[in-house]
Amino acid sequence: MNIFVLMKRTFDTEEKIVINNGAVSEDGAEFIINPYDEYAIEEAIQVRDKHGGEITVVTVGNEEAEKELRTALAMGCDKAVLINIEDDVEESDQYTTAKILAEYLKDKNPDLILAGNVAIDGGSGQVGPRVAELLGIPYVTTITKLDIDGSKVTVVRDVEGDEEIIETSLPLLVTAQQGLNEPRYPSLPGIMKAKKKPLEELELDDLDLEEDDVEAKTKTIEIFLPPKKEAGKILQGELVDQVKELVSLLHTEAKVV
């Protein structure tokens, strides 16, 4: 089975993030594999181990993403591809990324493509579905279970607290939701093997693309942290008095009634 994983290098949102001039400062920031992409990587490994085949993990970014690709190789992926756009693209968005990935994948005959449901930095959830649309293959998002029987595929999809069971066929793109599996940690032997696994670096020219072909359709004007939460209030007195005070506060301070 020819399996591809679409991976993104993201800021570690559990670490302190600093905003400078309307953008996240990369100085001292910690970067990780997007957590939802870890579910995709783990599922790809389990599918390959059960059905055979090869896993290629692909990312669009710059040379700094090699670290995260090596981590994916240490987890168990077979090959990695970095499509370096640092010198070719000034502004990028989900369209840019999807267009580049689809152009890379179009002649690779993928049976299964896995991606994270969303990236924790942008949270748009657009790249996976856009890639599938450009390739002309079916896709299912936010999956929590994947079963493959020949070319027949059964998936369980998370739908806001409930489940939806879908039957489809290969080739297929799916995006992984939390609960699909428990991603493994890279083992020491895996880390050693990852150093010898192939990591290919491509640029737009290698895909016969020019900057105009992948020009961003949207522009991020500003990024800002949410306002700091103020301390809550504990209402005192009889229940009737608390209700009166609560209504008054909602009207005068919260301004929601």
Q: Where are the beta strands (DSSP E) in the chain?
A: 2-6, 9-11, 19-20, 23-24, 31-33, 54-61, 79-84, 112-116, 139-149, 152-159, 162-169, 172-176, 199-202
112 class by beta-carbon count within 10 Å (0-12 exposed, 13-18 middle, 19+ buried): buried
CA distance to 29, 70, 78, 139, 255, per residue, from 26 (Å): 5, 20, 30, 33, 38
DSSP structural state of residue 168? E
Q: With 80 as the cut, is the pLDDT of residue 51 above it?
A: yes
Mean per-residue pLDDT, 176-184: 95
Please report the pLDDT score of residue 81 as a whole number. 98
User: Strand pairing partners for 172?
Assistant: 112
Please report the pLDDT score of residue 230 as a whole number. 77
CA angle 21, 25, 31 (to 5 degrees): 155
Each residue's pLDDT tens digit, 198-214: 999 999 999 999 999 99
Residues 6+ apart with CB under 8 A from 225: 17, 19
CA distance to 234, 241, 246, 248, 249, per residue, from 238 (Å): 13, 5, 12, 15, 16
Each residue's pLDDT tens digit, 190-202: 999 999 999 999 9
Domains and CATH numbers, the chain: 2-214 (3.40.50.620), 229-257 (no CATH)
Q: With 80 as the cut, is the pLDDT of residue 35 above it?
A: yes
The CA distance from 184 to 173, in Å, is 22
In the predicted model, what is the mean pLDDT of the chain? 92
The CA distance from 97 to 109, in Å, is 19
Q: With 90 as the cut, is the pLDDT of residue 221 above it?
A: no
